[in-house]
Structure 1
Amino acid sequence: MSANSRLSVRLSRLLNMIPYFIANPGIGAAEAAEDLGVSTKQLMSDLNQLWMCGLPGYGPGDLIDLSFSEESIEVTFSAGIDRPLRLTSTEATALLVALRSIVGMPGMVDPTAAYAAIAKIEAAIVGESTVAIVDSAPVEAPAVTTVRAAVSRHRALRLVYYSASRDLVTERVVDPIRIVLVDNNSYLQAWCREAEGVRLFRFDRIEAATELAEPARPPDHAAEDATALDLFQDDPAVPLARLRIQADYGWVLDQYPMNKVAVLPGGDIEATMRFATLDWMARLLLGFGSGVEVLGPPELVAAVRERSQAALAAYEAAGLNGVDQA
């Protein structure tokens, strides 16, 4: 973030702090810092900055006056800054778009709170004086609610999780780090004790979650690992499929974790894809029909061929080979 951006963010925070402290007289520094999304140290620095802000003249009776310590913060003179900043119509519209875009992402926000905020903003835009209670907020899945709460409370979790690449449901204990959005899907980023590494758990594949009594203790380096947000890390221990994709099937590269190797004459694409189980990969490839050809490894080629022949035999046995059996 540039210096100008940092100053702009701080200015907006300072302008909203006075109405916040007027609405919460005597609040402690730690609680206020958490509400405002800053550290206690930064909050105290902001409060000292407010001593030098106020009305022209900048003398006694002009500057903002506060009484504050880490135990209690009170505003004794607001210098007229007693209401939060108002959103412009452009800002309100942008905020509505952002809220609506994330409210459908599991785990990103509390949907009830988000819909309440949407209703308030819409009511303000149209000039209504009251806001109807939001009844249309989607009901959050219990597992999602549990995970979001555990992340907030820094507690360990026991997950029942469906792994699409392995076509397997597993149970594991994890130490949550944060909730992230990757490629329009929301994930829990956590330290997996079983794998002893940082993993991403897609929210719509978490079948059940239980918050444990013990605190989350991910290793110090876990949150700083940039590769932890890579959904498809190139693990040489996992088998690698080599594929030839017809030109009009290029869309599969956007839908599956494939790496393009080369574009062949005629527009066909050679690509690779890691897979955990032979059975799952064979079934996936059969679903593409003739649009994707398996080049290797030999055991995957054999598995796809055997499944294709078995399906064809069953097809012919049922009298569905195009010959009238009557």
Structure 2
Amino acid sequence: MTPRPDRLSRLLALVPYFATRDGIALDQAARDLGITQAQLTKDLELLFVCGLPGYFPHQLIDLQFEHGFVDVIFTAGMDRPLRLTSAEASTMLVALQALLDLPGAVDQEAARRAIAKIEAAVGSSDTAVRTPAGPGESDNPTYTTIRDAVTARRALRIRYYSATRDNVSERVVDPIGLQTMDNHTYLEAWCRVSEGVRLFRFDRVEEAEKLDDAAAPPEEAKAQPQYAVLSENPDLPSVEIEIDPSELWILDYYLVEPLESLEERVDRGAPVRARLVYGSPEWLLRFLLGFGGRVRVISDVAIADSVNSAAATARARYT
């Protein structure tokens, strides 16, 4: 089965697709594109508010699709090949080169081909790719397997090294997507062992095997807000904490994940339980002491005792 394109790629292709098939039925177009009719309708509603700079009504893409058929009124230029200016081409070349330098972020051979095509199209006198790919520069097969699984929406079995725990564990994960941050590429996936969304750094995946199982992360996992890399990094420790109602603002400012639905709480005056990811014990101790007992660790007795001891020592200095 051919994998469905991601939404951005699909949106870019929709206008020329419909421009050459004016009046096509929505259900037929959805089958051609490999998506549901509901998703296609959402895509068309988004395209309806996209267009040329200025973004006044006469500059927006104009599509009619209310009666089950799609008619293109105004394409905003998306029905003809894009002509890059020198500045635009230079920006794309720099971005592609940056992706080449990120381990596993893209298919390196595909990125080099794209660079060569852009250079040829704009007549660049400079070579963006420093040297041709040599034997040592071929794409890591593990990275290729991970990207292929994301594209094909297939589950993965991985062996992952945790730097914090200094051990290697085997996990089966359901890929959701890829993220890049701080010169690293991460696989975002539902971990069947942890039963939660986790980010796995590419260069710490020792082995990856694409399974026959379809990737099936829970719908709520795919729809949840994306936490920063730190909060979903399986290399880092975490604790469960209890937050008094007066300090719930920390949910918006720190990497804290509520363990219950804030909207469905019956007792609004009760503390909220959450998971806090931290980088070092020293930082965690300072963080907890700053709240004077209004934020408490409930999952680790040793950390709670350390906080109480440090607080008692501080009070003793005043007496």
TM score, norm. by length of structure 2: 0.52
SS of 2:200's equivalent? strand
Give the 3-state SS of the residue equivalent to 2:106 in structure 1: coil
CA separation of 1:48 and 1:257: change in aligned 2, threshold 3 A: closer
Match of 1:250 in 2: none
Q: How far apart, in 1, do the equivalents of 2:119 and 2:227 lie?
A: 40
Distance in 2 between residues matched to 1:178 and 1:208, nearest whole Å: 18
Residue from 233, 236, 239 that aligns with 1:236: 239
Hey, what's the Cα distance between the residues in 2 that align with 1:32 and 1:114? 28
Q: Distance in 2 between matches of 1:101 and 1:145?
A: 18
Tell me by how many angstroms 1:33 deviates. Answer: 5.3
Equivalent residue, structure 1, for 2:194: 195
1:91 positional shift: 0.8
For the Cα contact (< 8 Å) 1:107–1:186, is it kept in 2? yes
Identity over the aligned pairs, expressed in percent?
41
1:229 aligned partner, one-letter code: V
Query: Who is 2:218 aligned against?
Result: 219
Consecutive unaligned residues of structure 1, counting only runs of 5 or more, are 1-8, 51-63, 129-133, 238-255, 263-295, 298-326
How far apart are residue 109 of structure 1 and its match? 1.7
Contact conserved, 1:162 with 1:206, CA < 8 A, in 2? yes
Query: In the alignment, what sits opposite 1:18?
Result: 16
Residue by residue over 1:110-151, the C-alpha shift from the partner in whole angstroms, topping out at 9 and shown as x without a partner, is 2121111111111122279xxxxx952841111111110111
State the number of aligned residues.
215
| Match runs of 1:151-230 below 5 Å | 151-223=150-222, 224-227=224-227, 229-230=229-230
Instruction: Render the CA deviation track for 1:206-244: whole Å, top value 9, x for unaligned.
Output: 11111111111212222314446323766137xxxxxxx
Tell me by how many angstroms 1:106 deviates.
2.9
User: In 2, distance between residues paired with 1:175 and 1:19?
Assistant: 32
Change (3 A) 1:234 1:205: closer
Task: Give the alignment of 1:1-326 within 5 angstroms.
Answer: 13=12, 17-18=15-16, 29-30=29-30, 39-42=39-42, 44=44, 83-126=80-123, 136=133, 138-223=137-222, 224-227=224-227, 229-230=229-230, 231=233, 235-236=238-239, 257-258=279-280
Pair 1:80–1:140, CA change in 2 (3 A): closer
Report SS of the residue matched to 2:159. Answer: strand
Greater Rg over alpha carbons, structure: 1
Give the letter for the 1:105 counterpart.
Answer: L
For residues 233 and 143 of structure 1, the distance between their equivalents in structure 2, rounded to whole angstroms, comes to 23
**Secondary structure in 2 matching 1:174:** strand
In structure 2, runs of 5+ residues without a counterpart are: 1-7, 51-61, 126-130, 241-277, 285-305, 308-319
Alpha-carbon distance change, 211 to 257 in structure 1, aligned in 2, over 3 angstroms: same
Aligned to 1:281: none
Using the alignment, how far apart are the partners of 1:95 and 1:259 within structure 2?
A: 42
Alpha carbons of structure 1 residues 90 and 164: separation in structure 2 relative to 1, 3 Å: same
CA contact (8 A) 2:15 2:79 kept: no
Change (3 A) 1:228 1:172: farther
